[in-house]
């Protein structure tokens, strides 16, 4: 039977009791409006833990003043039904006051990682994510927590804070789940009009194209980035950033040489279609077709 906890005390007691029985607790933090991408995280947590906790909380501190907090899609009943079917043990559904009680004054911030990619146009975002994830880890005390690779910068921020703050939690990442045309699943896809949704497939097509170009020998990140931008703009996307970055530091790479590919290089982007900002990323490799259907990798 799936339980629902609305207070942090209740959630923590449940998790501590499981730990006292020698059970491994897995946590999947979410903001709800769940889709197949979230359920894949839950299934991975299920493989890695004896008890799975999913938190659902639309965290106000990670939204800037002009962002979509007020409109962020919500579906409590639908989410609970999906989680029950997927096999979750506890859903933690805190209120805003539960996680940010009156008088709270502690926040968590990182000095370097947020000064890249999404952090540049969303200056409060990663501080908000770091703060709420720290709270969720402290409440649920999981041995393992699972996050998606679509939010790649977020994944790095969480890995770093877990290490820096000595949380005994293993951070596991799950591959991005995509729609049949390659668009990364995201709760924000629900905002797209039919026309924007059709055009948004250019994001994954462009990432696959970039990977194919690298496999064909392209080494100049600036030229590759400019061509990626052109492809996206030609389909009506408004580019926030397109960047080729080191997969650990997120520093922009000037050249995509074999050493960089060996260390790990990501093509990452954030693009608006209408009012909707979408992000995606892909590891660059010398194999054009890894994760990219052949047709998509060579689309011009
Ligand atoms: O990825 C998300 O849904 C959120 O950023 C997270 C990790 C649940 C923190 O609010």
Distance from the CA of 160 to the center of ligand 1, in angstroms?
15
With respect to residue 181, please indicate whether it lies within any of the assigned structural domains: no
Both 52 and 167 in one domain: the answer is: yes
Both 88 and 230 in one domain: the answer is: no
Which residue has the CA at smallest separation from atom 3 of ligand 1?
30
Give the integer Cα–Cα distance in Å for 232 and 244: 15
Per-residue pLDDT at 18 exceeds 70: yes
Pocket of ligand 1 (CB under 6 A): 29-31, 59, 62, 129, 132-133, 151, 154
Domain boundary residue, one of 121, 149, 174: 174
Domain count, the chain: 2
> Is the dihedral angle over the CA atoms 161, 163, 165, 168 positive or is it negative?
positive
CATH code assigned at 93: 3.40.50.620
Tell me what the mean pLDDT of segment 169-177 comes to.
98
Residues 266/242, Cβ–Cβ less than 8 Å: no
Distance from the CA of 279 to the center of ligand 1, in angstroms?
14
CATH code assigned at 277: 3.30.1300.10
Which residue has the CA at smallest separation from atom 9 of ligand 1?
129
- CB-based burial label for 294 (10 Å; 0-12, 13-18, 19+): exposed
Asked which of 69-78, 168-177, 206-215, 279-288 is least confident by mean pLDDT, the reply is 279-288
Domain boundary residue, one of 149, 174, 199: 174
Per-residue pLDDT at 300 exceeds 60: no
Per-residue pLDDT at 274 exceeds 50: yes
Enumerate residues 6+ apart whose C-beta is below 8 A from 224. 210, 213, 214, 218, 244, 256, 267
Give which of 262, 265, 261 is closest to 252, Cα–Cα.
265
Tell me what the mean pLDDT of segment 14-33 comes to.
98
Per-residue pLDDT at 130 exceeds 50: yes
Model confidence at 51, pLDDT cuts 50, 70, 90, reads very high
With respect to residue 32, please indicate whether it lies within any of the assigned structural domains: yes
Residue 41's φ and ψ, nearest 5 degrees, are -65, -40
Domain boundary residue, one of 118, 141, 174: 174
With respect to residue 99, please indicate whether it lies within any of the assigned structural domains: yes
186 SS3 class: coil
Both 152 and 213 in one domain: the answer is: no
Both 157 and 22 in one domain: the answer is: yes
- CB-based burial label for 27 (10 Å; 0-12, 13-18, 19+): buried
Query: Does 38 participate in catalysis according to the annotation?
Result: yes
Parent domain of 136: 3-174
Mutate to test the pocket of ligand 1, among 59, 124, 160 (most ligand atoms within 8 A of CB): 59
With respect to residue 299, please indicate whether it lies within any of the assigned structural domains: no
| Atom number in ligand 1 closest to CA 129 | 9
Both 276 and 244 in one domain: the answer is: yes
- Give the model's pLDDT for residue 294: 60
Both 26 and 111 in one domain: the answer is: yes
Tell me what the mean pLDDT of segment 106-120 comes to.
98
Tell me what the mean pLDDT of segment 174-179 comes to.
98
Tell me what the mean pLDDT of segment 170-193 comes to.
98
Model confidence at 113, pLDDT cuts 50, 70, 90, reads very high
Both 152 and 256 in one domain: the answer is: no
Distance from the CA of 175 to the center of ligand 1, in angstroms?
16
With respect to residue 212, please indicate whether it lies within any of the assigned structural domains: yes
Distance from the CA of 162 to the center of ligand 1, in angstroms?
15
Both 207 and 232 in one domain: the answer is: yes
Query: Among the options 35, 38, 247, 266, which is catalytic?
Result: 38
Tell me what the mean pLDDT of segment 180-206 comes to.
98
> Is the dihedral angle over the CA atoms 43, 74, 158, 229 positive or is it negative?
positive
Which residue has the CA at smallest separation from atom 6 of ligand 1?
30
Both 97 and 214 in one domain: the answer is: no
Using the CB atoms, write b or e for 145-182: b if 16+ within 10 Å. bbbbbbbbbbbbbbebbbeeeebebebbbbebbbbeeb
With respect to residue 195, please indicate whether it lies within any of the assigned structural domains: yes
Both 8 and 156 in one domain: the answer is: yes
- Give the model's pLDDT for residue 71: 95
Mutate to test the pocket of ligand 1, among 28, 35, 94, 151 (most ligand atoms within 8 A of CB): 151
Model confidence at 299, pLDDT cuts 50, 70, 90, reads very low
> Is the dihedral angle over the CA atoms 247, 251, 254, 260 positive or is it negative?
negative
- Give the model's pLDDT for residue 112: 98
**Span 216-249, pLDDT tens digits:** 999 999 999 999 999 999 999 999 999 999 999 9
With respect to residue 179, please indicate whether it lies within any of the assigned structural domains: no
Q: Whose structure tokens read 């299934």?
A: 43
With respect to residue 69, please indicate whether it lies within any of the assigned structural domains: yes
Both 118 and 248 in one domain: the answer is: no
Give the chain's mean pLDDT.
Answer: 96
Residues 283/265, Cβ–Cβ less than 8 Å: yes
Both 161 and 191 in one domain: the answer is: no
Residues 115/249, Cβ–Cβ less than 8 Å: no
The percentage of the chain sitting over the pLDDT mark of 70, rounded to a whole number, equals 97
Q: Which residue has the higher pLDDT, 285 or 114?
A: 114
Q: What is the pTM of this model?
A: 0.96
Per-residue pLDDT at 290 exceeds 90: no
Give the integer Cα–Cα distance in Å for 265 and 163: 22
């Amino acid at each position: 039977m799936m339980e629902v906890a609305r207070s942090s005390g209740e959630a923590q007691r449940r998790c501590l009791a499981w730990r006292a029985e020698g059970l491994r607790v897995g946590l999947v933090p979410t903001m709800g409006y769940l889709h197949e991408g979230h359920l894949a995280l839950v299934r991975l947590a299920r493989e890695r833990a004896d008890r799975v906790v999913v938190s659902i909380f639309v965290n106000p501190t990670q939204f800037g003043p002009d962002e979509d907090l007020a409109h962020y899609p919500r579906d409590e009943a639908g989410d609970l039904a999906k989680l029950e079917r997927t096999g979750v043990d506890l859903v933690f559904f805190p209120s805003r006051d539960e996680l940010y009680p009156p008088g709270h004054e502690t926040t968590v911030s990182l000095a370097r990682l947020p000064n890249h990619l999404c952090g540049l146009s969303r200056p409060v975002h990663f501080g908000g994510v770091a703060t709420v994830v720290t709270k969720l880890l402290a409440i649920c005390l999981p041995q393992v927590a699972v996050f998606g690779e679509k939010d790649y910068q977020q994944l790095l921020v969480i890995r770093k804070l877990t290490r820096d703050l000595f949380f005994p939690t293993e951070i596991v990442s799950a591959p991005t789940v995509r729609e049949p045309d390659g668009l990364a699943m995201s709760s924000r896809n629900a905002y797209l009009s039919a026309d924007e949704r059709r055009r948004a497939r250019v994001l994954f097509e462009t990432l696959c194209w970039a990977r194919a170009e690298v496999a064909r020998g392209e080494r100049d990140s600036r030229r590759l980035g400019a061509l990626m931008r052109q492809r996206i703009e030609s389909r009506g996307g408004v580019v926030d950033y397109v960047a080729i970055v080191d997969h650990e530091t997120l520093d922009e790479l000037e050249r995509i040489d074999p050493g960089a590919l060996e260390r790990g290089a990501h093509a990452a982007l954030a693009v608006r279609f209408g009012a909707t900002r979408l992000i995606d990323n892909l590891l660059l490799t010398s194999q054009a077709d890894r994760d990219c259907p052949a047709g998509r990798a060579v689309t011009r």
